[in-house]
Amino acid sequence: MDIFGEAAAAVAKSRRNVLEFVRQDINLGFTFLDTAKVEQRLRETEVRDRSVRHAQQACDGAVRCLENVSDVASEERDHLQRGIDSLQAAIDEFRPSPKV
């Protein structure tokens, strides 16, 4: 393999790693939300709120990474974006509405 082939292979591997990171961040966000639900049942509001914040951080990280990767098949990008959207909706649904 010549230098250009090696560079192309390195770029492709890097892109795959970033996409895997996005997938793992989405999974991590849902795990934090599952934890927050348990903490809510235990009436551990401070810990629950921290878990929700961590879920939001995971979601935000997935968004940033997906925005910064190029040359991704549209089907894969759409699939990951749906996962991010689903996570964000779950976070928004979990947050209590502000008191009036």
- pLDDT for 6: 79
Q: Is residue 89 part of a domain?
A: yes
Domain-located, residue 25: yes
- Tell me which residue range forms the domain holding 82: 3-94
Q: What is the pLDDT of residues 49-61, one digit of tens each?
A: 999 999 999 999 9
**Per-residue model confidence as pLDDT tens digits over 7-32:** 777 777 888 888 999 999 999 999 99
What's the number of domains the chain is made of?
A: 1
> Does residue 78 lie within any of the structural domains?
yes
Long-range (24+ apart) CB contacts under 8 A made by 69-73 are 69/15, 69/18, 69/19, 69/22, 70/15, 71/15, 72/15, 72/19
Does residue 99 lie within any of the structural domains?
A: no
- Cβ–Cβ < 8 Å for 19, 72: yes
Q: What is the pTM of this model?
A: 0.85
Burial of 82 (0-12, 13-18, 19+ CB in 10 A): exposed
